[in-house]
Amino acid sequence: MRDADGFDEFYRDTSARLLRYGYALTGDLAEAQDVVQEAYTRAWRNWRMVAAHPAPEGWLRLTVARLSTDRWRRLSGWRAAVRRAGPPEPVGPPSEDAVLLTAALRKLPAPTRQAVALHYLFDLPVADIAAETGTPVGTVTSRLNRGRAELAAILAPATRTPEVTDVEQ
């Protein structure tokens, strides 16, 4: 018998963080919902193993990352079900800043996007990001530097203002 209460508590404590992570990786909140629900579905199916894992949330993060980068194939169960029922749409429109960030994140290579998201959303040290993604520390450092620089360049107000002006003219 799996520990349903333990799973529910874990889900309650961690799912919002994982949704933020999925949102950063996919760039789309509805996609992120699918990805996160699928990841927890898999966690529940393997709950004894996941619960015994030294870092259950890390297991979920890895699953979310994998689903996010190969989501059309891996979400066949969940997404097919949701598609039939009509997907639950996020409430209200996205904020402008979130749209800008997700658009900027999409321009980064997937491994860089993952490293940046782990850094900004989970405050993970470089060594932990390296361990979780199976990447050398130097590579993670390089990805973070590059990712930060590219995001900052894209998000800089000087870059955004002319776009708004153009739209209004």
Partner 1 sequence: MSNNEVDRAFAALSSDVERGLLLSGPELRRQAGKRHNRGVALTASTAAVLAVGAIGAGWALAGDRGGDQTVSLPPPPSSSSAPAPSSVPPTTTAPPSSAPATTPPSSAPTTDAPSIPKSIPARALLTKAESRTGELTPQDEPRGVPEFCGKAKFPSASQKGVSASVMLIYRGASAPEGSIPDDVVYNTVTVFRDEGATDYLSELRRAVQLCPTGKMGDLDAQFDSLGSLGLGDESVLIERSYAATDGQGEPMNNGSRTATYLAAVRVGDSVTLLDSRGYENLSSNRADVEKLAKVAAAHLADWRS
Residues that bind partner 1 (CB under 8 A): 1-2, 4, 7-9, 11-13, 15-17, 19-20, 23-24, 29, 32-33, 36-37, 40-41, 44-49, 69-73, 75-82, 84-92, 94-95, 97-98, 100-102, 104, 110, 120-121, 148-149, 151-153, 155-157
The nearest distance, CB 168 to partner 1, in angstroms, is 22
CB closer to partner 1 out of 89 and 169? 89
Residues 6+ apart with CB under 8 A from 119: 126, 129, 144
* CA pair distance 130, 166, nearest whole angstrom: 42
∠ Cα 50 55 58 (to 5°)? 90
Rounded Cα distance between 44 and 41, Å, is 5
Instruction: Kindly report each contact of residues 85-94 with a partner whose C-beta sits within 8 Å and lies 24 or more positions away, as own/partner.
Output: 87/30, 87/33, 87/34, 88/30, 88/33, 89/30, 90/29, 90/30, 90/33, 94/29
CB of 53 to partner 1, least distance (A): 14
Q: Which is nearer to partner 1, 19 or 131 (CB)?
A: 19
Q: Which is nearer to partner 1, 137 or 156 (CB)?
A: 156
Task: State the minimum distance, in angstroms, from the CB of residue 55 to partner 1.
Answer: 17
Select 108 or 130, whichever has its Cβ closest to partner 1: 108
Helix (H, G, I), strand (E, B) or coil at 125: coil
Pick between residue 26 and residue 132 the one whose CB is nearest to partner 1: 26
Structure tokens at 126: 């470089």
**What is the closest distance, in whole angstroms, from the C-beta atom of residue 138 to partner 1 in the complex?**
20
The overall longest dimension of the chain from CA atoms, in Å, is 64
The minimum distance between CB 115 and partner 1, in angstroms, equals 13
